[in-house]
Each structure stands twice: as C-alpha cells, then as structure tokens.
Structure 1
Amino acid sequence: MCEIFCFNSNTPKQVNECLQCFYNHSDEHPDGWGLANMQSNEFVIDKEPIKANCSEHLKDILSHPVVGKNVFAHIRLATVGEIISPNCHPFTEADDNNRSWMLIHNGTIFDYPKLDEYVEKENGDTDSERILLYIIDKVNEFEAKKGALSTIKERFNLLSEIVEDLSKNNKLNLMIYDGDLTYIHSNMRDSLYYLKNDEGFLVATTPLTDDIDWKPVELNKLFGLIDGKIIFESGEHENEYILTKEHEEYLSSLKRDGN
C-alpha cells in the first residue's frame, strides 16, 4: 500500500527530522513521493513518481528547514494506477466556492461504484483521486442546496457521512485538509498512529520517533483537527477493514496487469 504523514500545530514548527525518518521508508514504498505545506493560505506541493530516497529534488528540499503548521507527506506503493506524476499524492482540487482541498490516502477502494463516473474526469487513474473528486461534488451539492457557504461543523458532519459510506469493504486511511480543518480517518488496525505533545499532533502510518507516547489512531472514527487540537470527533461506524482472500486476489490481479 502506501504510508501517510501529517503534522498539525498552532504555530509553525520545523519537521525535517520526522520527514526524513518518514521518507527513509521509501525502499518499501518506491513508486512516488509527495509533500504539501500550507503557506499563506495556499499549498506548496512537491511530488515525483520516483523513490523518495533517489530524489535529488526531495534531498534539496530537506536540506533546508521545512517549517509549517500543516504539513502532509506520502510515499506510494502502487496498487491502482500507473507510476506517473499525476498519480502521486497529495491530490488537490477546488470546490465551486474556490475552497482548496487536499487528500492523501493509504488503502484501496474495492467496491464503491459511485466513484466510477470520475474515471474520465481525473488527471491520473487512481481510486484516491476519485475519492477527492467525489467529496468535492458532495460539498458543492450541499452548499448549492443551502445557498451559502458551509460552516466547518457542517463540512465535518458531511464528511463523516461520506467516509462512513466509503469505508464499507474498503481500506480507507485518509488525511484531508480543506483550508480550515484537517480530517483523519483509519479503519484498519495497526495502520495509523499519532503522537500528541507540545509541538502539536503528529500522525503517521508507523511511529517516527522513539517516544513511548505514540498511540494507535482510534478505528472507525473521523477526527477534525485545528491548531494541534481535536475539535470534532464522529461517532464510531462498523466498517473495520480486514484483508480477505478476495482482496488479496484483486490486488494480485492489479500487479499482473502492471498497475
């Protein structure tokens, strides 16, 4: 699959050490890397379809301080989609009210026909990008019906419903940012961890430091973070993902097809 990373804080902090540790896992996730840093109300995004440890561009980025309040990173092990730049995470898109969204995903969508209509609309060919396009359409529908911008709480409630539905029979470890709120979701055991300290919130597929306070992200809930604090927490759904023989056969078929 992939590995994902998020840093969320109330003040800008340097995160080079954690990022370097994260990208050192790229030998097992060689199919691309991405980095997003929220600066002055816009994302600074870099990504390439090569192994992170082989990237001179990433090496140059990490040779300078990477400082931010909202930083996201991804290393890819391709399942759905070719190894090309448009398939590297993070994915970004604007909604009808010009709000920028970002998504990174660790998992696979095995069964969700509603995403099929986005195959012709996306820039690449990943299920992850389709998730973002689908979410934005739902936000657009909500705001058009309301006739006004959504509140942060309304967006969190809407995404809680979407994520619960999407998570049925699918692996859905997600990090999403909408310019205000960072959304975190996991529905597979031992696949996402967090560390809360004075620096802020760190969330990653595996613990990135020797700190003993890393804890598993609570399963089957959506969390909303602002300034290093959880401000929203959804109820618990029942869609824990457990790898089955059918899932393994599907993933093997993708590899045979060259994806």
Structure 2
Amino acid sequence: MCEIFCFNSNTPKQVNECLECFYNHSEDHPHGWGLANMQSNEFVIDKEPMKASCSEHLKNILSNPVIGKNVFAHIRLATMGEIISPNCHPFTEADDNNRSWMLIHNGTIFDYPKLNDYIKKEKGNTDSERILLYIIDKVNEFERDKGRLSTIKERFNLLTDIVADLSKNNKLNLMFYDGDLTYIHSNMRDSLYYLKDDESFLVASTPLTDDENWKPVELNKLFGLIDGNIIFESEEHENEFILTEEHEKAIEGFLKSINRDDIND
C-alpha cells in the first residue's frame, strides 16, 4: 500500500532529516511521492508519479531546509488508480466556503459504494481522492443546513461519524487538514506511529528515528491536532481492519496489471 507522514508543531521547524528517512522507504513504494507544506495559510505542494529515490526534483527540495508547522508527505504503492500525477497524494480541494482541504491516505477502499458518485468528478482515478470529495460534500451539506460556517468542534464531530462509517471493511489510515485541524486516523494494527514532545507531534507509518518514545497510534479513533497537541479525541469505533487473503489477492491482481502495463509501454 502506501506510507504517510505528518508533522504538526506550534512553531516552524526543519524536518529534512525525518523526510529523508521517510522517502528512503520508496524502494518498497515506487509509484509516486508527494510533499505538502503549509506556508502563509496555503499549501505548497510538490508531487510526481515516480519513485522518490529517483526524483531530481525531490533531491533539490531536500537540499534546502524544509521548514514548517504543518508538513505532510506520502509515498505510493498503488492499489487503485494509474501511475500518473493526478493520482499522487496529497489531494487538495476547496469547500463551498473557500476552506482548503488536504488529504493523504494509506489503505484501500474495498467496500463503500457511496464513493462511486465521485468517479466522474475526480481529477484522477483513486479511492483516496474520492474520500476527500465525499468529506467535503458532507461538510458543505452540514453548513448549508445550518446556514452558517461550522465550528472546529462541529467539523470534528461530523468527521468522526464519517470516518467511522468509511472504515467498515476498509483500511483507512488517514491524515487530512481543514485549515484549522489536522486529523489523524488508523484502523490497522502496527501501521501508524507517533512521537510527541513539548512542541510537536510527528506521525508516520513506521518510526523514523531511533528514539524509544515512538508509540502506536490508538486504533479506531479520530484525533484532532493543533500546534503539536491533541485538541479532540473521538470515542473508539469497532471497525478494525484485518487484512485477509481475499484482500491480498485483490491487491496482487492490481499490482500485476500495473507491471503488465509497464512492460507494454
């Protein structure tokens, strides 16, 4: 599948060392890379549909200090969608009130028919982009019904219900951002870890340093972060994802189709 990375802090910090370690995992996740850094209330996003270790563009980025309070990164092992730039994470979209959203995903949606409504609306052809479009539609619907902007807590509560529902029978390790909150969710064991200090919160698919304080992200909960601290924490849902032989066969079939396409090209 993929690996995901998030840095959330109360002050801008340089994250090159952690990013370099993260992107070194691209040998096992060769189908694309992405980087999002919030600067002046807008994300600066770079991504390419190629192995991170082979990217001159990424090397140039990491040769300079990467400094930020909200930094997200992704390396892709495709389980759905072509190996093209529009399918690389992060995905971004604005809601009806001009709030910018950003999402990265590690997992696969095996069973959620509601996302099919977005196949013709998305720029690429991944289940991950459809998740973002679905979330934004639900937020737009909520705010239209209320006749006003939602509060941070209202959005968190809404997203708690949406993510819990999406997680049924699906692997849903998510990191997304709504301009105020960074949201973190995992529903598969041993697939997401965090490191916390007084100023920052670092989350990644695997520990990126030798620090012994890395801990697994609690399963089946949605967390809301601001300035390196957990502001909101949801109740635990019951939708832990356990990879079955049937899931593995579906993923293997898709990966074989990618390899065949590469040979034909």
Amino acid in the other structure paired with 1:76 = R
Q: CA separation in 2, counterparts of 1:249 and 1:118?
A: 25
Partner of 1:117: 117
CA contact (8 A) 2:173 2:187 kept: yes
Equivalent residues, number: 259
Task: Give deviations 1:180-229, integer Å, cap 9, x for gaps.
Answer: 00000000000000000134000000000000000000000000000000
Task: Give deviations 1:54-99, integer Å, cap 9, x for gaps.
Answer: 1010000001000000000000001100000000000000000000
Amino acid in the other structure paired with 2:81 = G
Q: Secondary structure at the match of 2:34?
A: strand
Deviation of the 1:255 alpha carbon: 2.4
Q: Does 1:84 align with 2:84?
A: yes
Deviation of the 1:258 alpha carbon: 2.7
Q: Secondary structure at the match of 2:196?
A: strand
Task: Give deviations 1:152-207, integer Å, cap 9, x for gaps.
Answer: 00000000000000000000000000010000000000000000013400000000
Partner of 1:241: 241
Amino acid in the other structure paired with 1:141 = E
Q: CA separation in 2, counterparts of 1:121 and 1:139?
A: 17
Partner of 1:66: 66
Q: TM-score, normalized by length of structure 1?
A: 0.99
Q: Secondary structure at the match of 2:219?
A: coil
Q: Secondary structure at the match of 1:83?
A: coil
CA contact (8 A) 1:3 1:205 kept: yes
Partner of 1:148: 148
CA contact (8 A) 2:7 2:202 kept: yes
Q: CA separation in 2, counterparts of 1:133 and 1:48?
A: 21
CA contact (8 A) 2:35 2:46 kept: yes
Q: CA separation in 1, counterparts of 2:248 and 2:189?
A: 17
Partner of 2:157: 157
Q: CA separation in 2, counterparts of 1:60 and 1:236?
A: 42
Q: Secondary structure at the match of 2:183?
A: strand
Amino acid in the other structure paired with 2:38 = M
Partner of 2:36: 36
Q: CA separation in 2, counterparts of 1:62 and 1:257?
A: 33
Q: Secondary structure at the match of 2:57?
A: helix
CA contact (8 A) 1:13 1:199 kept: no
Task: Give deviations 1:37-64, integer Å, cap 9, x for gaps.
Answer: 0000000000000111110100000010
Q: CA separation in 1, counterparts of 2:181 and 2:171?
A: 22
Q: CA separation in 2, counterparts of 1:35 and 1:197?
A: 23
CA contact (8 A) 1:115 1:131 kept: yes
Partner of 1:17: 17
Unaligned runs of 5+ in 2: 260-265
Q: Does 1:108 align with 2:108?
A: yes
Amino acid in the other structure paired with 2:27 = D
CA contact (8 A) 2:199 2:227 kept: no
Structure 1: which 4+ aligned runs deviate by more than 2 Å? 255-259
Partner of 1:253: 253
Q: Secondary structure at the match of 1:134?
A: helix
Q: CA separation in 2, counterparts of 1:255 and 1:50?
A: 15
Q: CA separation in 2, counterparts of 1:67 and 1:124?
A: 29
Q: CA separation in 2, counterparts of 1:90 and 1:204?
A: 15
Partner of 1:126: 126
Q: Could you tell which deviates more after superposition, 243-252 or 230-239?
A: 243-252
Task: Give deviations 1:78-124, integer Å, cap 9, x for gaps.
Answer: 11000000000000000000000000000000000000010111000
Q: CA separation in 2, counterparts of 1:50 and 1:254?
A: 18
Q: CA separation in 1, counterparts of 2:58 and 2:255?
A: 27
Partner of 1:48: 48
Deviation of the 1:250 alpha carbon: 1.5
